[in-house]
Amino acid sequence: MIDKVDVLSLNLKELQDFVIDLGEKPFRARQIFKWLHQKGISSFNELTDISKNFRSKLFEKAKLQKAYLVKKFVSVEDNTTKYLFKIENDYIIESVLMKYEYGNAVCISSQAGCAMGCTFCASTVGGLERNLTAGEMLSQVYEIQKDSGERVSNIVIMGSGEPLCNFENSVKFLELINSKDGLEIGHRHITLSTCGIVDKIKELANLKLQITLAISLHAPNNFIRKKIMPIANKYSVDELIFAAKEYADFTKRRVTFEYALIDGINDSEDCARELAERLRGSLSHVNLIPINDVEERNYKRSSDKTVKVFCEILKSLNIEATVRRKLGSDINAACGQLRKRYLKT
């Protein structure tokens, strides 16, 4: 049996080729593209302006592989909503809607599960289940926009999974979300977060996209990084920071280093000074994140005072640093935490 075509992951040109193969006029492609990407349809039956015959050809040859909303949790503390979606093969993924003054940001997943094994992260506990298609990544945004009734202005690829280990689909997602006949969200409003797959950062730099690259650094040296992030056994901190420098040179975009502060692990004043030393001279910004506690590991969030001191040291050494406002901690809004709890029950 020939696999049905995943039409939600096709760009306009590919969709045109597909409709021509079905014996239809090429202009039909744009019509369908808009239904898929601007209206976010859930069935080909909703394509009311094409013939019944064409619709049945679509049912036969194509599929709508998207994320279907299963459950949502609204935070009582702030305007954060966490969504659980079901995708093909019944995998569960999660996304978050965060409302800021500047607009609505959605945090999407790029994989079901994750293979990276970071010790503080809930997404990786069951390993990698599978890569998401570009369409499954897109539909998280479309469904959240439909559910909230408000426009999504910003996207962070910072949910479950390592986007650079799902490189092709992530790049396709970036192309489609920016498409004129889709939501047309500008790349400057999109952040891609990686644990630091150096080879892939280079590949991404070569594409010269205007997205923001965020690198989950979380440690100032290899010794500490290896204790919390297995990827540090493959790429050293220096290699990673060098790749970030190259990325900034190529794209002229400032790189963000994420640094989750874990009590007693990576939050000492020495760590702050060493980090500043390492980052000196790079076009970058450090985003400090008070970690969400991980009971299994006995990891605790650093105290507010420690976070403040860490931030002050970086700034005094001329490293740009901010502390991320924590949103939705009452609904397990950190990477993979909600999904983990949902699967448990």
Question: Where along the sequence are the contacts to ligand SAH (CB under 6 A)?
Answer: 116, 118, 120-121, 158, 162, 193-195, 216, 258, 260, 289, 291-292, 294, 334-335
Q: Return d(Cα 69, Cα 84) in angstroms, integer.
A: 6
Q: How far is the CB of 100 from ligand SAH (least distance, A)?
A: 18
Instruction: Give dist(CA 106, CA 159) in Å, integer.
Output: 10
* CA 129 to chain CA mean position, Å: 16
**What is the full DSSP assignment across 268-286?**
SHHHHHHHHHHHTTSSEEE
Closer of 131 and 194 to ligand SAH (Cβ):
194
Shortest CB 195 distance to ligand SAH, Å? 3
Given the complex with ligand SAH, which of 16 and 133 has the nearer CB atom?
A: 133
Task: Name residues whose C-beta falls within 8 Å of residue 123's C-beta, 6 or more positions apart in sequence.
Answer: 109, 113, 114, 159, 160, 161, 335, 336, 339, 340
**Phi-psi region at 157: left, alpha or beta (left = phi > 0; alpha = psi -120 to 50):** beta
H-only helix segments in 71-221: 134-148, 167-177, 198-207
Find the shortest distance in angstroms from Cβ 165 to ligand SAH: 8
Alpha helices in the chain (DSSP H): 12-21, 27-34, 52-61, 134-148, 167-177, 198-207, 222-228, 237-251, 269-279, 304-316, 337-344
- Going by C-alpha positions, the residue among 334, 303, 322, 305 that lies closest to residue 254 is 322
With respect to ligand SAH, which residue has the nearer C-beta, 121 or 331? 121
229 closest CA partner among 219, 242, 215, 240: 219
Smaller CB distance to ligand SAH: residue 216 or 282? 216
Whether the Cβ atoms of residue 19 and residue 57 lie closer than 8 Å to each other? no
- Least distance in angstroms from the C-beta of 54 to ligand SAH: 40
Catalytic residue among 107, 114, 118, 335: 335
Token pair listed for 119: 């010790």
Residue closer to ligand SAH (CB basis): 146 or 226: 226
Least spacing, CB of residue 145 vs ligand SAH, in Å: 22
Smaller CB distance to ligand SAH: residue 5 or 275?
A: 275
Q: Shortest approach of ligand SAH to residue 229 CB, angstroms?
A: 8
Q: Active-site residue among 94, 136, 162, 258?
A: 94
Helices vs strands, H then E, count in the chain:
11, 14
335 is catalytic: yes
Bridge partners for 288 per DSSP: 259, 323
Minimum distance of ligand SAH from residue 33's CB (angstroms): 29
CB 160 within 8 A of CB 127: no
Nearer to ligand SAH, 37 or 82 (CB): 82
Q: Which residues are catalytic?
A: 94, 335
